[in-house]
Amino acid sequence: MNLEEKLKSGKFVITSEIGPPKGTNIAPHIEEAEHLRGKADAFNVTDIQSSVMRLGSLATCRLLLEKGLEPVFQMTCRDRNRLALQSDLLSAAVFGIRNVLVLTGDHTVLGDHPQAKPVFDLDAVSLLKVASGLMEGKDMVGNELDGKPEFFLGAVVSPGYEPQELQLIKMEKKIEAGAKFFQTQAVYDLAAFEKFMKTASKFGVPILGGIVLLKSAGMAKFMNENVAGVNVPDRYIKMMAAADKKERANVSIGIAAELIKGMKDLCPGIHIMPLGWEKHVPAVLEASGF
């Protein structure tokens, strides 16, 4: 079963994530994905995450496929105009990539090439619409395609975003434009997440709760200050601060497991973003009862 089928079947879905390197040394990352074979149902590959130049998502997704692992091709709108975006979607299809997660993308100034020209010719909504159009055999301006792609389109939503109504309006637009599944921004507050899911689940589209492993109290505080929509409660910060260096990973795993267990009844699956701690994901899954 592929990701779409698993979601339909009602199985609790687990997706993980790979952040390609700044360079060509992709092998270790594919290795780590191997360790989760059978445990994670699919692997997101980020697209120049945080606007830091890296190896591309398209190539990495293809390498995963060659290993028999299921990729989710992340596509941002920051770097490519509508021509390149459509072209890369066709390339993805030809490579056998089916799952496409569409997002706007961080602004260039936040990354390591702040002088670069930000493109944003399309955004998540319009890119979803374009991708849906390609699936029907037409490009964006109505030309017939010689061979049409098939995708399982997804998008992102941020439960902690304020004002929440605005985020939900955009979520609806994404669904109308063709989004068939969602992955959320990192969740740390189960009560807030439950409240969000009450409304969001009414749209009838599967939403996978996002989990980010905390590496330190400092990281938690940094995210609270700088990352939109992320709210790490004091309790967790204190727990991380109290742990000494050797213990930190375990505390982090514990927190993640607590959150995942809490989410089991709220959403049809989870999306884990290890952010470099790929090696701890198996432990997280074990601690969560998988």
Query: Least separation, in Å, of the C-beta of 221 and other proteins?
Result: 14
Complex with other proteins: residue 12 or 120, whichever CB lies closer: 120
Query: Least separation, in Å, of the C-beta of 280 and other proteins?
Result: 25
Applying CB under 8 A, the residues found at the interface with other proteins are 78, 82, 103-110, 114-118, 120-126, 129, 156-158, 161-163, 165-167, 169-170, 172-173, 177, 185, 226-229
101: left (phi over 0), alpha (psi -120 to 50) or beta: beta
Complex with other proteins: residue 27 or 141, whichever CB lies closer: 141
Q: How far apart are CA 45 and CA 18, in angstroms?
A: 5
Complex with other proteins: residue 121 or 258, whichever CB lies closer: 121
**Strand residue runs (E) in 124-215:** 152-157, 181-186, 207-212
Query: Least separation, in Å, of the C-beta of 249 and other proteins?
Result: 28
Complex with other proteins: residue 62 or 78, whichever CB lies closer: 78
Calculate helix-pair angle for 82-94, 124-135, nearest 10 degrees.
Answer: 50
Are the CB atoms for 180 and 155 separated by under 8 Å? no
Query: Least separation, in Å, of the C-beta of 114 and other proteins?
Result: 4
Are the CB atoms for 34 and 10 separated by under 8 Å? no
Q: Residue 276: in which H helix or E strand, if any?
A: none
Query: Least separation, in Å, of the C-beta of 171 and other proteins?
Result: 9
Query: Least separation, in Å, of the C-beta of 110 and other proteins?
Result: 7
Query: Least separation, in Å, of the C-beta of 228 and other proteins?
Result: 4
What are the C-alpha distances in Å from 92 to residues 65, 133, 136, 259? 11, 15, 16, 33
Q: List alpha helices for the chain, DSSP H.
A: 3-9, 27-35, 57-66, 82-94, 124-135, 164-177, 190-200, 217-226, 234-242, 248-263, 281-287
Would you give the DSSP letter of residue 74?
E
Complex with other proteins: residue 79 or 278, whichever CB lies closer: 79
Structure tokens at 267: 């959403």
Complex with other proteins: residue 230 or 253, whichever CB lies closer: 230
Complex with other proteins: residue 104 or 201, whichever CB lies closer: 104
- Residue given tokens 């130049």 in the structure block: 53
Q: How far apart are CA 85 and CA 103, in angstroms?
A: 12
